[in-house]
Structure 1
Amino acid sequence: MAHLLGADTISLTVGTRTLLDGVSLGVDDGQRIGVVGPNGAGKSTVLRLLARRQDPDAGRVTHAGSLRVGLLDQRDELPAGSTVRDVVHGQDAEHTWAGDAGIRQVHAGLLSDLDLEADVETLSGGQRRRVALAALLVGDHDVLMLDEPTNHLDVEGVAWLAEHLSARFGADGGGGSRADARGALVVVTHDRWFLDAVCTRLWEVTGSQSGDAVGGTVHAYEGGYAAYVLARAERERSGAVSAAKRDNLLRKELAWLRRGAPARTSKPKFRLDAAASLIADEPAPRDPLELTRLATARQGKDVLDVEEVSVAFPAAEGGRTVLLEEVTWRLGPGDRYGLVGVNGAGKTTLLRLLAGTATPDAGRVRRGKTAVVATLSQDVSELDELAHLRVVEVVEGERRTVAVGGKELTAAQLVERLGFTRERSQTLVRDLSGGERRRLQLLRLLVGEPNVLLLDEPTNDLDTDTLAALEDLLDGWPGTLVVVSHDRYLLERVCDRQVALLGDGMLRDLPGGVEQYLELRRGAPGRGASNAALGTAGSAESSDLAEDAAARSLPGAEAVPDAAAVRAARKEITRIDRQLGKIAEREAKLHARMAEAATDHAAVTALDAELRELTALKDELEEQWMTAAEIAG
């Protein structure tokens, strides 16, 4: 594969933090590289350096020939007074781009619901993101560098983008790259499903450790996110073994020093030097991150009831656009819902109704007496009014002490548990990175001890380590949870059920999860089409129309199953349980083999492909199990 661009021993220091220290990187034709790492480690900086939008303090960045590099920044700064057509196509005549199949595909995937003559200043955040992305994708670039391209995209948009980029940059169907591929992709993203679907190589940017002026490395891993997690776990396990050996040796050295007489012989000096060498060789620990499970207010039987709610707003061309039409949705204690839908369908509006910050045109939202609702909004600018405060002062403004696990913690101790070192806890809010602002938003919510959490795109700006910690926190969340997100990984991990807004004013239950939503949007035959007539979603314990549709999908079953159908369904459940047990054993073996072959790219790729097939089979069996379980009762 041809070499396109590279970085030769580049270094960069920002303030007292060393982001990069003698780092060398290369991008070859056909590669699809994902960039991950902690917030503030320098992922966006790496893109800017490689694109020559910023110069390193030392080292150099080289481009092959007349390389054309396109960079999508996190901020969608579109020219004021421009139309969508101006931003995407400039002064090009319509016939020059309308006849290009590739450009038409980008239009269909990103701009199908937009008026090309619309002023960009009237667009929503998600629409602006799609316009900026479309402007880059229609260009003729050799290397595309995308900084958080999935932010503000809905689930459908993320799926389209993954398919488009895989096809454009050399997907061969087996997770590798074609020999005739032309061009390369470098993408910073926290979307783990996207990383697995698109990337064949990952870079982990570590930045400086614990705010010290040391560090700044980039580790390279072959494969997608799953392979990266396995390889990183193996690397850290090896590092832990080495550290344990070093610790044991250090303890022996220090014990000898305590027993010896330092003044009588030169040996203690030698031993002292050896101990100092061991200490100096000890690598700095990774920043700790523990999203603490704070107390949750007691929940009663009634939490939130949306009853016959309708919401509409004036349309630009006259009339009214209906967002919600006679929607009924009952949320009980401990319910965990994921909410997906097309942009502009009313997801954020529905959250505002639940939070009590918006009122419906008709119907009502009934709130239980003990419900304490907290909302994590998409917009981190809500912290702007606190920009002059330090991180610890923001938390102290909410609560000075918090009881956690029977112990009382100060605001400073709580902030440190959330991954802010003592140095970063004294940082002004205006100087925080996007991910650090997001963590601070979350902490402000949790100290209020809510029992209902409404999370609007909670994964925006968070790194993969913080996402894992967030999921661990939500796993043990005892209250009611509603999550609006395009992150399929998060939705499937922390939510028990999914519902969708498809733009027709109805809230639909999704027994088949996100995949069923995509089928509904594609208008696919089979299960997606059969569920297209699903009605409004009910409470966690009842959604009659959804259950009837699922029951009818099992051969031989009727809308009201008879005894024979129930017996057949129970036999089907037993059969599927046995198969799922065998699949679990095969999965465990495959994971073990992948860990053993972590440094062998070809072996990991083959095993990962086998694991994907197994996962697809498991998903299919689980759907069959759910269908049979609806009939068996």
Structure 2
Amino acid sequence: MANLISVERASLALGTAQVLDEVSLGVLGGDRIGVVGRNGGGKTTLLRVLAGQRSVDSGRVTRAGVSSVGVLAQEDVLDPAHTVREEVLGDLPEHVWAGDPRIRDVLTGLLGGIGAEAVGGFDALVGPLSGGERRRLALARLLVQDPTVLFLDEPTNHLDVEGVAWLAEHLVRHRARPDNAVVAITHDRWFLDAIATATWEVVDGSVNAFEGGYAAYVLAKAERERMAAVTAERRDNLLRKELAWLRRGPPARTSKPKFRIDAANTLIADEPPPRDDVELMRFATTRLGKDVVDLLDASVTLGDRVLLDRITWHLAPGERVGIVGVNGAGKSTLLRAIAGTIALSSGKRKQGVTVRLAYLTQEVRELERYADWRVIEAIEDVRKYIRLGKKEISASQLAQRLGFTGGRQQTRVSDLSGGERRRLQLTRLLMDEPNVLLLDEPTNDLDIETLTSLEDVLDGWAGTLLVVSHDRYLLERACDKQVALMGDGKVRELPGGVEQYLELRHAQPAARPQVSHPFGAKPAVAAAGTDGAAGAPLRTPAELREARKDMARVEKQLARLAQREERIHAEMAASATDHAKVLTLNGQLREIVDEREGLELEWLEAAEIVG
């Protein structure tokens, strides 16, 4: 195979951190390489070096026979003034892209079809689209361009299980030629196993190469660690002998050759520093009675869409359920209904008296109020001491075991990386010792090392577990059964697991839910006069009047926002060639989106009081 990219003894330091330390590696034609490693370990920097976006301090990077490079970064680089058609297809004539089965496959797999229904049509502006939709557009644009070397930084973000399976199949089918290659940073272990011919682990400034995908990487790494343990045991034996000799009296030392002392000092110096390992503890779980949470003939309506349609579900103690479905099918809504954080349009929710419920949302909103706190303060806010097994440990000791070592405990929460915030969020939830755990996309921002630690915790979880995730590996590893939301408001059991879900989706393409355009979305409305507030405290007439006033006020504000939005859209269309002005207008649109989300939540809270 042709050598497309060669890296020879490359070194790169960012501040005081040595990200690359005399790294040598190569990308060959036909390679599909998965890149794994700890958050902040240098994976993205390595990708930028390979793509020519960042130079190295020393060493050499050569690209021979690379006619084009495509990079999917984690940052959004789309032009908000462009239409979907302009961003994805550029100036390609319709007869060209419509007659190319590879391009049609991309449009169908990522944008919902030739008409790009999933993102509001080919003529929709990019600016108002959601983050997930823009991510799909950026990926679709790259795949349509088909560069020689394709660099993907977390390509499965914002993709559902079906989308991840499609992307893996597309890359294997179209990126296996000897004249192209793909390098992908990913924490999705199923995706890694499905596409990778090689796996690179970035750790401590080095890049360790393994043949094959995730399974082969785990086996090879275990064998390397076994060999390292044998070497360490031999070194320890030598150390014990040499140190015993050094501890003898001065006459014994002076009568021995000096090289014995030098040899002992060399052995001591060769002792490697301990890794900054993350250890998620098995916190005690409060005893769970026979009654957990029941949904009885429950429905949830958002605007004119029925997300849950007369669902009856009895959660059993110790049940472990994985939930799959396309984006917009109602997975998060189902979790919120079980958690009791959303009003039911009809039906009832019952909760057992012994239930202690913890709910991990997709966002890290729980940490917003702690933005100016230090890590140690955020942990102590839950508990200053916790008992693990027979030992009582302090919050500082706990933070140390979670990878927040030394001065990192004094870091402000707002300065933590996404993965560190997610880890902190999980720990705070577990420290409260819940017995019902609801996890909505728990793998977001977590590296593989933390994921395996989380799964180890869940293995010993004695309570009830519900997981919404596009991480197929996690669903099959941590859950005993899977259920699916197919977009018709029903919950369907999957005896055949995720594979059965993909078969059902393939057989019923019409089941794809129609996701409304984000800027045409209405506030989530629960039907009045329902049983959704069953079990809620009775409201006084004054409280009901105040809630109705709040609803009317919010509806007026939403109407004014809609008018502002229309005016900005008109200005964007009139100023399409003035990129500076379009960017300013796009920022105003983003502010409208944020303001509307807050208002819709406020409306929902008031609607829940009214019933």
The interval holding the TM-score normalised by the smaller chain is 0.7 to 0.9
Following superposition, the deviation at residue 77 of structure 1 comes to: 4.6
Following superposition, the deviation at residue 354 of structure 1 comes to: 1.7
Q: Which amino acid aligns with 2:14?
A: V
Residue aligned with 1:309, SS: strand
Task: Decide which of 243, 254, 274 is 1:265's aligned counterpart.
Answer: 254
Q: Which moved more, 1:288-297 or 1:158-167?
A: 288-297
Task: Decide which of 436, 446, 452 is 1:468's aligned counterpart.
Answer: 452
Residue aligned with 2:194, SS: helix
* TM-score normalised over the length of structure 1: 0.76
**Is 2:145 aligned against 1:149?**
no
Q: Which amino acid aligns with 1:62?
A: T
Paired with 1:466 and 1:231, the residues of 2 have a C-alpha distance of 19
Residue aligned with 1:398, SS: coil
Q: Which moved more, 1:501-510 or 1:377-386?
A: 377-386
Paired with 2:385 and 2:249, the residues of 1 have a C-alpha distance of 47
Paired with 1:477 and 1:140, the residues of 2 have a C-alpha distance of 45
Give the conservation status (yes or no) of the 8 Å contact 2:2–2:179: no
* 2:532 matched residue in structure 1: none
1:84-123 equivalences under 5 Å are 84-112=84-112, 113-114=117-118, 115-123=121-129
Following superposition, the deviation at residue 333 of structure 1 comes to: 1.3
* 2:516 matched residue in structure 1: none
The change in CA–CA distance for 1:358 and 1:77 in structure 2 (over 3 A counts) is farther
Structure 1, residues 351-404: CA drift from partner, whole Å, max 9, x if none?
122222211222222222222211222223653443333222211122211121
The change in CA–CA distance for 1:128 and 1:374 in structure 2 (over 3 A counts) is farther
Following superposition, the deviation at residue 419 of structure 1 comes to: 2.6
Task: Decide which of 417, 433, 446 is 1:449's aligned counterpart.
Answer: 433
Q: Which amino acid aligns with 2:427?
A: L
Q: Which amino acid aligns with 2:183?
A: V
* 2:545 matched residue in structure 1: none
Task: Decide which of 127, 132, 139 is 1:126's aligned counterpart.
Answer: 132
Structure 1, residues 82-134: CA drift from partner, whole Å, max 9, x if none?
43223212344434422322111101111114222334444444333222211
Q: Which amino acid aligns with 1:193?
A: W
Give the conservation status (yes or no) of the 8 Å contact 1:305–1:330: yes
Paired with 1:65 and 1:519, the residues of 2 have a C-alpha distance of 40
Paired with 1:206 and 1:262, the residues of 2 have a C-alpha distance of 45
Following superposition, the deviation at residue 264 of structure 1 comes to: 6.7
The change in CA–CA distance for 1:203 and 1:159 in structure 2 (over 3 A counts) is same
Residue aligned with 2:250, SS: coil
Q: Which moved more, 1:350-359 or 1:136-145?
A: 350-359
Q: Which amino acid aligns with 1:224?
A: G
The change in CA–CA distance for 1:429 and 1:271 in structure 2 (over 3 A counts) is farther
Give the conservation status (yes or no) of the 8 Å contact 2:418–2:445: yes
**Is 2:255 aligned against 1:249?**
no
Residue aligned with 1:458, SS: coil
* 1:136 matched residue in structure 2: 142
Residue aligned with 2:271, SS: coil
1:186-585 equivalences under 5 Å are 186-207=183-204, 216-261=205-250, 265=254, 267=256, 269-314=258-303, 320-380=304-364, 382-523=366-507
Paired with 2:134 and 2:22, the residues of 1 have a C-alpha distance of 37
Paired with 1:365 and 1:83, the residues of 2 have a C-alpha distance of 44
Following superposition, the deviation at residue 80 of structure 1 comes to: 2.8
The count of aligned residue pairs is 504
**Is 2:80 aligned against 1:80?**
yes
* 2:15 matched residue in structure 1: 15
Give the conservation status (yes or no) of the 8 Å contact 1:83–1:117: yes
Paired with 2:56 and 2:379, the residues of 1 have a C-alpha distance of 36
Paired with 1:362 and 1:199, the residues of 2 have a C-alpha distance of 47
Q: Which moved more, 1:17-26 or 1:509-518?
A: 17-26
Paired with 1:469 and 1:66, the residues of 2 have a C-alpha distance of 39
Residue aligned with 2:381, SS: helix
Q: Which amino acid aligns with 2:404?
A: F
* TM-score normalised over the length of structure 2: 0.79
* 1:537 matched residue in structure 2: none
Residue aligned with 1:150, SS: coil
Q: Which amino acid aligns with 2:195?
A: V
Structure 1, residues 24-56: CA drift from partner, whole Å, max 9, x if none?
121111000011112221111111111122222
Q: Which amino acid aligns with 1:455?
A: L
Paired with 2:313 and 2:167, the residues of 1 have a C-alpha distance of 32
Give the conservation status (yes or no) of the 8 Å contact 1:336–1:496: yes
Give the conservation status (yes or no) of the 8 Å contact 1:4–1:67: no
Paired with 1:524 and 1:296, the residues of 2 have a C-alpha distance of 41
Q: Which moved more, 1:472-481 or 1:266-275?
A: 266-275
Superposed structure 1 runs of 4+ greater than 6 Å apart: none
Q: Which amino acid aligns with 1:60?
A: R
Structure 1, residues 225-259: CA drift from partner, whole Å, max 9, x if none?
11111111111111111111111101111101112
Paired with 1:20 and 1:385, the residues of 2 have a C-alpha distance of 36
Following superposition, the deviation at residue 146 of structure 1 comes to: 0.7
Following superposition, the deviation at residue 524 of structure 1 comes to: 8.0
The change in CA–CA distance for 1:382 and 1:71 in structure 2 (over 3 A counts) is farther
Paired with 1:385 and 1:58, the residues of 2 have a C-alpha distance of 43
Give the conservation status (yes or no) of the 8 Å contact 1:129–1:153: no
Residue aligned with 1:131, SS: helix
Following superposition, the deviation at residue 512 of structure 1 comes to: 0.9
Give the conservation status (yes or no) of the 8 Å contact 1:262–1:269: no
Paired with 2:72 and 2:276, the residues of 1 have a C-alpha distance of 29
Give the conservation status (yes or no) of the 8 Å contact 2:246–2:253: no
Residue aligned with 2:26, SS: strand
Give the conservation status (yes or no) of the 8 Å contact 1:296–1:449: yes
Ranges in structure 1 where 5+ consecutive residues have no aligned partner:
171-179, 208-215, 315-319, 530-633
Residue aligned with 2:305, SS: strand
**Is 2:63 aligned against 1:63?**
yes
Give the conservation status (yes or no) of the 8 Å contact 2:66–2:149: no
Paired with 1:505 and 1:193, the residues of 2 have a C-alpha distance of 28
Q: Which moved more, 1:159-168 or 1:149-158?
A: 149-158
Give the conservation status (yes or no) of the 8 Å contact 2:5–2:61: yes
Following superposition, the deviation at residue 266 of structure 1 comes to: 6.1
* 2:48 matched residue in structure 1: 48
Paired with 1:203 and 1:311, the residues of 2 have a C-alpha distance of 45
Give the conservation status (yes or no) of the 8 Å contact 1:202–1:221: yes
Q: Which amino acid aligns with 2:454?
A: L
Structure 1, residues 429-464: CA drift from partner, whole Å, max 9, x if none?
333322222211111111111111111111122222
Paired with 1:87 and 1:262, the residues of 2 have a C-alpha distance of 81
Give the conservation status (yes or no) of the 8 Å contact 1:68–1:143: yes
* 1:624 matched residue in structure 2: none
* 2:165 matched residue in structure 1: 159
The change in CA–CA distance for 1:246 and 1:108 in structure 2 (over 3 A counts) is same
Tell me the percent identity. Answer: 63
Paired with 2:268 and 2:73, the residues of 1 have a C-alpha distance of 41
Structure 1, residues 109-164: CA drift from partner, whole Å, max 9, x if none?
11114222334444444333222211111113001111111122111111100000
The change in CA–CA distance for 1:359 and 1:121 in structure 2 (over 3 A counts) is farther
Following superposition, the deviation at residue 424 of structure 1 comes to: 2.8
